[in-house]
C-alpha cells in the first residue's frame, strides 16, 4: 500500500536523523537539506538510497539535484512510489 | 630572524591509545608499566593465527558525535581526537581565526597513516558483495584515502598553510612530525599540528601481517607478547590509536606566552635500499639516519639521555637499531636510557611515531624514562642500557636530548630529536 504524505515525511525525518543527527521534529517540508539539515551532497546520496528502500521508489541521480527541500522529496516519492 | 632556520618548539600534546583516552592517562600508564594488549575474543578472530592486539582504551564513538563519526574512518577519528587534545593543550581556545592568536594561513596539518582507511575499504567491499553496488557508502572514498586524517584535522582547526600526509609504513607518524618541523623551520608556517594514526585491527591486516611471520603468536599470554629486546621476543603485537603534537616557531610561542614542552631540534632520514620488509641487519641503514641527524643538527651523542626506540619486538629489528646507535654514538650509548614503549602500547604502525613522540617529549618535560616491560632476559647481543622494571629518572640538571626512532617496511628510517628547554 502506498505511503501517505504524512508517512513519507515521518520516514524521511527518521532517515535524516540517522544520517545527519537532526532531531526528527526539525525535519519539516520547507527545510532545505543542505542549508537547514546538514545534509551535504554525499549524505544526500545516503538519504536517497535509504528512501528508495523504504518507499519502494527509484530516484535516478539526475532527479536528485531537484530535491532541494524535504517537501520536494516528499512530493517526488508520493508521485513515483511503487 | 633568519626565516630559513627558525627554532621550533613543542607546545601541545595529544593522544588516544591502548593505554588511555588522552596524553596524560597514556603517560601515566607508560610510567606505571601497564600493558594495553588483550585477547581478541571476537568471532572474526577465531580462525586467525594471531588473536591478540592492543585495542584503543576509549572508543572514539563515545567522543565524536555519530553523524560525524559515520563519515570518518576509525583512523581519522583517532587523529581528530588526538589533534584536538594537542590543540587545546597548546592553549588555543578555538579553531584558527576564531582564536585570534593564530592566523589560519600560518597553520598547517601533517597527519600520517601507514595503511589509511583499510577497514572502511574492506567493510564497504563486504557491503557491495552482500547488498549490492547501490548500498556502497558515498563517503567511502573520502574515508579511505590516506590523507583523510590530515584533511579532517585541517578542516577542524582551519589549517590553511597546507595539509600533508607522508607515507612510509611504520615510520609515517615520525615522518609527519619531521615534515612539520621543516615547515616551521623554513618559514612556511608558524604552527603545525602533526602526528600519526592507525586503525587496522581487522582480520585481513592481521592475517596478512601474521602470514609474513612478523607478529607474535603468543595468544596464551597477551600482556607478555610484546617483549622488545627480550631473548624470547617473537614478533610485534598490533596496536591502534593516534598521537599528535603542536609544533610552533619559538617566536610565535613566546609571543602568545605558550608553555613549551621541548625544542624540536630536527630529524635524520635515510633509506636502507636493502629489502622491502627486512631491516638492513648490520644497522648501517639506521646508522645513516642517525648520522644524517648529527650532520643537520650538530647534535652531540653526549647530550642524548633518552631514546624511545622503534623496537617492535622482532628478532632482527631490535638488534639492528642498537647496533646503529653504537656505531654512530660509540661509548655515549652507555649513558642513554633506552625505552621500548611498544612493550605496552603494541605497535601502532603509522600511529607509532605520533604516540612515541608524545612519550619522548613528556619524558624530557618530566625527566622520566618509561620502563620496557616483559624484558625478563636481555638479548645477550643487545649492547645498551634498556630501562626495565620501573620508570627511571633522567638527569635532573642541564639540557638533555631525547631521540624517537621510527622505521618502516620499505627501509624508511626516521629519527626525531628533541631537547629540554
Domain that holds residue B104: 8-255
Catalytic-residue membership of B310: yes
Any idea what the Cα angle at residue B256 is, between residues B255 and B257, rounded to 5°? Answer: 95
Query: For A21, which of B67, B137, B142 is closest by C-beta distance?
Result: B67
Distance CA B358, CA B196 (A): 11
Q: Which three cell numbers stand for residue B228?
A: 622488545
- Whether B228 is in a domain gets the answer yes
B170 is catalytic: yes
CA–CA distances in Å: residue B278 to residues B17, B317, B368, B379: 27, 8, 32, 19
What 8-state DSSP symbol labels residue B276?
Answer: S
How many CA atoms are closer than 13 Å to the CA of A81, on its beta-carbon side?
18
Closest-CA residue of B relative to A50 is B135
Residues B193 and B291 in one domain: no
Residues B185 and B250: their CA atoms lie apart, in Å, by 10
Residue ranges of chain A whose pLDDT lies below 50: none
Q: C-alpha distances in angstroms, A68 versus A41, B163, B379?
A: 11, 32, 67
What whole-number distance in Å separates Cα of residue B159 and Cα of residue B106? 8
* Contact across the interface for A43 and B137, Cβ inside 8 Å: no
Of B201, B236, B255, the one marking the end of a domain is B255
Same-domain check for residues B281 and B190 = no
Do B164 and B69 share a structural domain? yes
- Of B207, B228, B255, the residue at which a domain comes to its end is B255
Q: How far is B138 from chain A (nearest CA, A)?
A: 6
- State the Cα–Cα distance between residues B293 and B187, nearest whole angstrom: 20
Please check whether residue B350 is in contact with residue B197, taking contact to mean a CB–CB distance below 8 angstroms.
Answer: yes
Verify that B18 and B156 share a domain, yes or no. yes
CATH of the domain at B104: 3.40.47.10
DSSP state letter for B223:
G
CB A8 within 8 A of CB A76: no
Same domain? For B359 and B248 the reply is no
Which chain B residue is nearest to residue A19, measuring alpha carbons? B67
Tell me the chain A residues in contact with residue B142 when contact means C-beta distances shorter than 8 Å: 42
- Which residue blocks in B172-314 are alpha helix, DSSP H? 172-185, 203-211, 250-255, 284-297
- Cα B201 from Cα B344, distance rounded (Å): 17
B277 and B218 inside one domain: no
Residue among A20, A21, A46 whose CB faces B138 most closely: A46
Asked whether residue B184 is assigned to any structural domain, the reply reads: yes
3-state helix, strand, coil in chain B (%, to 5): 40, 20, 40
C-alpha cell at B35: 600493558
CA gap B15, B185 in Å, rounded? 24
Residue B2 lies in a domain: no
Whole-number pLDDT of residue A10:
97
Q: What is the set of domains in chain A, with CATH numbers?
A: 3-78 (1.10.1200.10)
pLDDT value of position B3: 59
Contacts 24+ apart (CB under 8 A), A48-56: A49/B134, A49/B135, A50/A15, A50/A18, A50/A19, A51/A11, A51/A12, A51/A15, A51/A77, A52/B134, A54/A11, A54/A15, A55/A3, A55/A8, A55/A11, A55/A81, A56/A81, A56/A82
Residues B138 and B251 in one domain: yes
Q: Which three cell numbers stand for residue B243?
A: 598521537
- Residue B4: predicted pLDDT: 79
pLDDT tens across the length of chain B (421 residues): 445 799 999 999 999 999 999 999 999 999 999 999 999 999 999 999 999 999 999 999 999 999 999 999 999 999 999 999 999 999 999 999 999 999 999 999 999 999 999 999 999 999 999 999 999 999 999 999 999 999 999 999 999 999 999 999 999 999 999 999 999 999 999 999 999 999 999 999 999 999 999 999 999 999 999 999 999 999 999 999 999 999 999 999 999 999 999 999 999 999 999 999 999 999 999 999 999 999 999 999 999 999 999 999 999 999 999 999 999 999 999 999 999 999 999 999 999 999 999 999 999 999 999 999 999 999 999 999 999 999 999 999 999 999 999 999 999 999 999 999 9
Split into its structural domains, chain B has a count of 2
From B170, B202, B252, B306, active-site residue = B170
Longest dimension (CA), chain B: 65
B196 CB-side CA count, 13 A? 33
**Cβ within 8 Å of residue B298, ≥6 positions away:** none
- The sign of the CA dihedral A66, A68, A69, A73 is positive
Residues of A in contact with B127 (CB under 8 A): none
- Beta strands (DSSP E) in B124-231 are 163-164, 191-198
Query: For residue B56, what pLDDT is reported?
Result: 98
Residue B291 to residue B40: CA distance in whole angstroms: 41
In a domain, B409, yes or no: yes
Contact: A45, B138; criterion CB under 8 Å: yes
Which of B138, B139, B148 best tests the A interface by mutation, with the highest count of A CBs <10 A? B138
Report chain B residues whose CB lies below 8 A from the CB of A46.
Answer: 137-139
- DSSP lists the bridge partners of residue A32 as A69
Tell me the whole-structure pTM to 2 decimals: 0.97
- Are B155 and B46 in a shared domain? yes
Distance in Å, alpha carbon of B283 to nearest chain A alpha carbon: 49
Residue B3 covered by a domain: no
Indicate if ipTM > 0.90.
yes
Domain presence at residue B260: no
CA–CA separation, B127 and B135 (whole Å): 7
**How far is Cα B372 from Cα B386, in angstroms, rounded to an integer?**
7
Of B220, B237, B255, the position where a domain reaches its end is: B255
Residues B89 and B150 in one domain: yes
Distance, CA of B172 to CA of B318 (rounded, Å): 19
Q: Do residue A43 and residue B134 have CB atoms under 8 angstroms apart?
A: no
Within this chain, do residues B85 and B224 fall inside the same structural domain, yes or no? Answer: yes
Give the CA-trace dihedral at B306, B307, B313, B316, to 10 degrees.
-130
Q: Do B67 and A49 touch (CB under 8 A)?
A: no
Q: How far is B61 from chain A (nearest CA, A)?
A: 14
Which residue does chain A place closest to B65, by CA atoms?
A21
- Residue A17 DSSP class: H
Q: Do B214 and B247 share a domain, yes or no? A: yes
Looking at beta carbons, which residues of chain B come within 8 Å of A38?
67
CB contact (8 A) between residue A49 and residue B134 = yes
Q: Which three cell numbers stand for residue B105?
A: 594561513
What pLDDT does residue A2 have?
87
Domain annotation covers residue B141: yes
Q: How far apart are CA A15 and CA A30, in angstroms?
A: 17
Task: Tell me, yes or no, whether B270 and B394 share the same domain.
Answer: yes
Contacts of A26 in chain B (CB under 8 A): none
Count of other CB atoms within 10 angstroms of residue B59:
14
Distance from CA of B66 to the nearest CA of A (A): 7
Is A49 at the interface with chain B, CB within 8 A? yes
- Nearest by CB to residue B137, choosing from A38, A46, A52, is A46
Amino acid at each position: 500500500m502506498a505511503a501517505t504524505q504524512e508517512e513519507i515525511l515521518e520516514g524521511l525525518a527518521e532517515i535524516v536523523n540517522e544520517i545527519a543527527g537532526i532531531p526528527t521534529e526539525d525535519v519539516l517540508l520547507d527545510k532545505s537539506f543542505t542549508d537547514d539539515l546538514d545534509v551535504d551532497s554525499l549524505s544526500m546520496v545516503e538519504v536517497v538510497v535509504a528512501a528508495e528502500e523504504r518507499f519502494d521508489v527509484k530516484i535516478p541521480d539526475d532527479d536528485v539535484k531537484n530535491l532541494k527541500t524535504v517537501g520536494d522529496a516528499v512530493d517526488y516519492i508520493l508521485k513515483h512510489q511503487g | 630572524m633568519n626565516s630559513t632556520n627558525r627554532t621550533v618548539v613543542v607546545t601541545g600534546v595529544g593522544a588516544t591509545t591502548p593505554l588511555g583516552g588522552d596524553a596524560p592517562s597514556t603517560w601515566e600508564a607508560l610510567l606505571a608499566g601497564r600493558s594495553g594488549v588483550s585477547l581478541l575474543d571476537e568471532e572474526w578472530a577465531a580462525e586467525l593465527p594471531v588473536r591478540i592486539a592492543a585495542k584503543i582504551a576509549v572508543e572514539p564513538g563515545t567522543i565524536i558525535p555519530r553523524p560525524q563519526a559515520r563519515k570518518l574512518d576509525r583512523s581519522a577519528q583517532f587523529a581528530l581526537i588526538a589533534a584536538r587534545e594537542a590543540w587545546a593543550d597548546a592553549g588555543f581556545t578555538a579553531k584558527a581565526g576564531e582564536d585570534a592568536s593564530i592566523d589560519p594561513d600560518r597553520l598547517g596539518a601533517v597527519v600520517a597513516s601507514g595503511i589509511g582507511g583499510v577497514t572502511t575499504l574492506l567493510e564497504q567491499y563486504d557491503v557491495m558483495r552482500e547488498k549490492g553496488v547501490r548500498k556502497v557508502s558515498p563517503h567511502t572514498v573520502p574515508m579511505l584515502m590516506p590523507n583523510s586524517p590530515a584533511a579532517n584535522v585541517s578542516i577542524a582547526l582551519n589549517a590553511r598553510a597546507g595539509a600533508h600526509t607522508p607515507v612510509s609504513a611504520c615510520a609515517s607518524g615520525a615522518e609527519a612530525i619531521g615534515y612539520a618541523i621543516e615547515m616551521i623551520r623554513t618559514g612556511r608556517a608558524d604552527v603545525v599540528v602533526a602526528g600519526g594514526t592507525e586503525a587496522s585491527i581487522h582480520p585481513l591486516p592481521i592475517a596478512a601481517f601474521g602470514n609474513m611471520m612478523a607478529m607474535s603468536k603468543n595468544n596464551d599470554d597477551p600482556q607478555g607478547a610484546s617483549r622488545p629486546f627480550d631473548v624470547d621476543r617473537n614478533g610485534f603485537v598490533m596496536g591502534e590509536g593516534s598521537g599528535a603534537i603542536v609544533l610552533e616557531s619559538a617566536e610565535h610561542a613566546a609571543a602568545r606566552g605558550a608553555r613549551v614542552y621541548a625544542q624540536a631540534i630536527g630529524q635524520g632520514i635515510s633509506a636502507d635500499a636493502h629489502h622491502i620488509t627486512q631491516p638492513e641487519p648490520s644497522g648501517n641503514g639506521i646508522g645513516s639516519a642517525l648520522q644524517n641527524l648529527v650532520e643537520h643538527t650538530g647534535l652531540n651523542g653526549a647530550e642524548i639521555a633518552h631514546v624511545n626506540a622503534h623496537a617492535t619486538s622482532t628478532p632482527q629489528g631490535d638488534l639492528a637499531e642498537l647496533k646503529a646507535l653504537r656505531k654512530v654514538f660509540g661509548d655515549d650509548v652507555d649513558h642513554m636510557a633506552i625505552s621500548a614503549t611498544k612493550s605496552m602500547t603494541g605497535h601502532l604502525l603509522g600511529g607509532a611515531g605520533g604516540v612515541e613522540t608524545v612519550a619522548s617529549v613528556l619524558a624530557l618535560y618530566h625527566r622520566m624514562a618509561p620502563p620496557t616491560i616483559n624484558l625478563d632476559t636481555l638479548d645477550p647481543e643487545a649492547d645498551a642500557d634498556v630501562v626495565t622494571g620501573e620508570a627511571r629518572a633522567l638527569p635532573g640538571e642541564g639540557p638533555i636530548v631525547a631521540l624517537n626512532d621510527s622505521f618502516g617496511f620499505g627501509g624508511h628510517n626516521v629519527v626525531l630529536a628533541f631537547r629540554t628547554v
